[in-house]
Structure 1
């Protein structure tokens, strides 16, 4: 759950930044949001969550 909240915040900041530099239009934002909500209701949602959890675990183990 923590990874998904972090991913949502990170993606939200990325979307805000792209909107701020006018690289992403508002209609693109609405389409991305609608796609995300629809994806969350499909059978692919657990796979996406597993991939994000694995990625978060991998990134958490990196030491710089």
Structure 2
């Protein structure tokens, strides 16, 4: 499952319980969009891949 889908579901859930406001969601989306165009994008992607790999190795 992709991180975008998981984060999107988390944002939807937080909006649904009225924990977030639309302005915060738009600000976070704009920040993520701009971050993806910087030199930090590969570092963020590798960190997310590592975290996803770690979660994939967990056994309950």
TM norm structure 2: 0.93
Q: Which has the higher contact order (CA 8 A, sep 6+)?
A: 1
Structure 2: runs of 5+ lacking an equivalent: none
Structure 1: runs of 5+ lacking an equivalent: none
Structure having the higher helix fraction is 1
Say what the alpha-carbon RMSD is for the aligned residues. 1.0
TM norm structure 1: 0.88
Aligned positions, number: 60
Write out the 4+ residue segments of structure 1 that deviate beyond 4 Å after TM superposition. none
